[in-house]
Amino acid sequence: MTTRIIVAAAVLFLIRPSVAICAGEHPEHPQSPPANQPSDQATKPAANKPEEKKVTTAQISAGITKHITTETGKSSDKKFHAKHEGKDLALDLVKVHDDRLSGLGGGKYFACVDMKAADGTVYDIDFFLSGTPENMKVTETSVHKINGKALYSWKEEGGVWKKVPTA
């Protein structure tokens, strides 16, 4: 019995290095590089890339909620302030669109929220974040919709999503 275990362990030990070498040479699912990364990075073996932590939508939701809460706490009127067409909007958080949260790769994330002004106007605001789940920073904020009317839409061009004005 002991001999069988030793032989099985020895065979596994001898086979394991060749499997690891093959896995590093040919990534099974190559990914497109982010827009800001040179395309030659996509051809490097997966073994040479640092392992990126998977971020859940719950972590993205917590990151955007934390950002809004922090900014609201800093303002004298306890409102979240966003700029739109030269105006300062004082807003309250209504809802984080958990179904629209996504990881974009490379430590970048997207979040969409509804916020309401004192006059009842509802603003759908898009946020781009970067960083780790514990320390996400907002890199871009834009008003996407006002009372449900879109100011722009999204279109994919060459693997990169871009804003497109609505007609």
Tens digits of residue pLDDT in 73-117: 999 999 999 999 999 999 999 999 998 888 888 888 999 999 999
On whether the CB atoms of residues 144 and 70 are closer than 8 A, the answer is: no
Separation of alpha carbons 139 and 108, rounded Å: 9
pLDDT tens per residue, range 55-71: 888 999 999 999 999 99
Residue 99 domain boundaries: 57-165
Q: Are residues 34 and 90 in the same domain?
A: no
User: pTM of this prediction?
Assistant: 0.65
Q: Which residues touch 155 (CB under 8 Å, ≥6 apart)?
A: 161, 162, 164
Q: Are residues 31 and 65 in the same domain?
A: no
Q: Are residues 112 and 143 in the same domain?
A: yes
Single-letter residue type at 104: L
> pLDDT band at 10, cuts 50/70/90?
very low
Q: Are residues 90 and 139 in the same domain?
A: yes
The answer, yes or no, to whether residue 48 has pLDDT greater than 80, is: no
Q: Are residues 44 and 126 in the same domain?
A: no
Q: Are residues 44 and 62 in the same domain?
A: no
DSSP state of 34: P
End-to-end CA distance of the chain: 76
